[in-house]
Structures are given as C-alpha cells and as structure tokens.
A and B are shown apart, each in its own frame.
Chain A
Amino acid sequence: MLFKNILVYVDNSESAIEAAMYAIILAQETGANLSVLYVVDTKSVSDLYNAHIFVDIERVDYERDLEKDADKYIRHIRKMALKKSLIIKTEIIKGNAPMEVDKFIKANSIDLLVLPKVSNIRSRREELTSDLDRILRTSKVPVLVVRADEEIWERFDEGI
C-alpha cells in the first residue's frame, strides 16, 4: 500500500470540501486510513485582542463562533464519508494551524497530507502569512493539493 494514513487539512472554504471529497475517494480506493483535521484559529483571535481590535468579551464570543464553524464543516465531511461507507477520524483542535498539522502528522504516522487549493498569489504580504502556504512549505510528508474541479463532485457522487 502506497499510503497507510492520509490526513486532509480543512478550513472554512469550499475548496476544503473538495479536498475532503478527494481524500475520501483516495482513502476508499487505496484502503488507507483517513483523518480530517480542522484547526480553530485561536491565535488570530488573540492577535486581534492584542491589537485592540477585539475587546475581552469578543475574544470569547468569536472563539465560540469559530468552534461552531469548525463543527459544522466536520459534521458535513462526516456525512460525506458516511455516504461512501468510510470510517474516518475527525479532530478539531484550537491553535496555530501549521504547528498543529505538524504535531498531528507526527502523532498519527501520517504519510500523505491532502490540502485544499492554495489561493492565487495576489500579495506577497498575504502569502507570507497564509496558513495553507506555510503548511505546504513546511510539510515533512508528501503533499497532495486538490484543485477545484467539477469532476471531483461527479466522481464523488458516482455509486452513491
């Protein structure tokens, strides 16, 4: 087996749903185990508090909202996996995304990382702070970047 343990990193984007679809198909066809990781970006919330953009009550409020977003996405991905009769491991972690992905990869013997498509570069400044860019550049395992493609949706729906 080429890959035993696949991790798909998801965020709140539509591309993340496509990446999850692709990872589900890949896991199903290869027999690999699939984990889905969503990192709730509490670092950004803290940074906004330190920058005086958020007040204390907002820090709590927005973190709760971010967790709800994460839960919504993970539930949706679980349903997708169920449609393919695939058992997956899902995890929602709070923290800094590149660090948490790295930790998860080590702790779970991940040998393939699947990522949503990385946005077109429109600003070098934003590129330097993009979590997805950093995860891609610092990954110690092979990375598969899933491009948005209607075919993924069609292929996923086959046989359901």
Chain B
Amino acid sequence: MNIVDTVEKDLIVVPVKSSDKSGVLNELVDRLCDVKHFSKTGIVEAIMDREVLGSTAIGNGVAVPHCKTDLVKGVNLVIGVSPRMIAYDKNEVRLFFLVVANENEATSHVKLLSSIARFCSSSVLRNLLASSKTPEEVYLTINN
C-alpha cells in the first residue's frame, strides 16, 4: 500500500480553511467522515491522543498526524494543503497527511506512512503540492 494507490480526489482538501492545528485536524476528519460515512465521534480524540505522545510535524512544512482505531475500516488518507503556514506545535506546516487506520491494518498502515515519508523527502514534490490550487493538481502531482 502506498500513497499513489491510496490517494483519492475526494479526500484532498485544497485549500484548508482553518488557521490553527486543531481546526485543520477537525476539518480533515470532517472530510474523511463525510466521504467514508464514518462517525466522527472518537476519531478526533484518537488523533489527539497520538499528538500527546509527540508532535506529528516532521519539518519542511509537513505534518503526518496518524492514529489507529476500530472506528474506521481499512487505511484512510486525507491530504490537506493550506495557502499559509499554520502554527503546529513548535513548527509551521502547510502540508497535512492525515492517516487513520483500523487497528488490524498495521502492515498496510506502516507501508502507507513509509510511502508518505519518501514522498515528502523530495523538496520538488513538497513545493509542487504546496503550490497546488485544486485537488486535481494534488492528485496529479502524487500520481506522476
């Protein structure tokens, strides 16, 4: 399982409207639940429980918030691009890769996170994503 196979246009939020960390995470979870018909209750808490262990901002304007929970099926990826930097713990972030996976999907979960890490290691790809104005542009950048 990798970012190319997992990305869905409906689960790309461009531009992110919120201007703080909590707002962005809620916005991305809202999109996930709207598209996949999951119940939002508990998912945001699971994400925030993970944030308590340590920030998911990884540098270079990227955050990879993630959690495992039995409130979802499969492994789900929501991508958010903000037009401006957002304060995220001690970092500033514009690109968000939210991964919410079922507890029984550890292997696929790890594979997807690894794929995201590889993708984000490229400054060219990060910049292309950050300059995307539509979900289609994000989708094409990831698939090329």
Q: How large is the interface on A (under 10, 10 to 19, 20 to 34, 35 or more residues)?
A: 20 to 34
Q: Decide if A69 touches B5 in the complex (CB within 8 Å).
A: no
Contacts of B66 in A (CB 8 A): 53
Q: Decide if A123 touches B2 in the complex (CB within 8 Å).
A: yes
A44: contacting residue among B54, B103, B110, B143, CB under 8 A: B110
The B interface is mostly helix, strand or loop, or mixed, namely helix
Interface residues of B in 100-144 (CB under 8 A from A): 103, 106-111, 113-119, 121, 143-144
Q: Decide if B5 touches A48 in the complex (CB within 8 Å).
A: no
Q: Decide if B107 touches A126 in the complex (CB within 8 Å).
A: no
Q: Decide if A12 touches B117 in the complex (CB within 8 Å).
A: no
Q: Decide if B119 touches A66 in the complex (CB within 8 Å).
A: no
Q: Is B58 an interface residue (CB 8 A)?
A: yes
A-B contact count (CB 8 A): 62
Q: When chains A and B are docked, how far (Å) is the Cα of A122 from the Cα of B7?
A: 12
Quick check: which of A22-30, A55-63, A81-89 contacts chain B, the rest being far away? A55-63
Q: Is B53 an interface residue (CB 8 A)?
A: yes
Q: Decide if B117 touches A62 in the complex (CB within 8 Å).
A: no
Q: Decide if A125 touches B117 in the complex (CB within 8 Å).
A: no
Q: Is A45 an interface residue (CB 8 A)?
A: yes
Q: When chains A and B are docked, how far (Å) is the Cα of A129 from the Cα of B108?
A: 15
Among B2, B64, B121, B144, chain A packs the most CB atoms within 10 A around the CB of B2
Q: Decide if A68 touches B106 in the complex (CB within 8 Å).
A: yes
A12: contacting residue among B4, B107, B121, CB under 8 A: B107
The A interface is mostly helix, strand or loop, or mixed, namely helix
Q: Is A102 an interface residue (CB 8 A)?
A: no
Q: Decide if B54 touches A55 in the complex (CB within 8 Å).
A: yes
Contacts of A52 in B (CB 8 A): 58-59
Q: Decide if A12 touches B2 in the complex (CB within 8 Å).
A: no
Q: Decide if A122 touches B143 in the complex (CB within 8 Å).
A: yes
Q: A53-B66, A55-B54, A126-B2 are in contact. Are A48 and B113 (CB under 8 A)?
A: yes
B5: contacting residue among A53, A54, A122, CB under 8 A: A122
Tell me the A residues contacting B by CB distance below 8 Å.
11-12, 41, 44-45, 47-48, 51-55, 57-58, 62, 65-66, 68-69, 119, 122-123, 125-126, 129
Q: A58-B53, A123-B4, A125-B118 are in contact. List 14 more A-B contacts (CB 8 A).
A: A41-B107, A47-B114, A51-B121, A52-B59, A53-B58, A53-B113, A53-B116, A55-B54, A62-B106, A65-B107, A68-B106, A122-B143, A126-B115, A129-B115
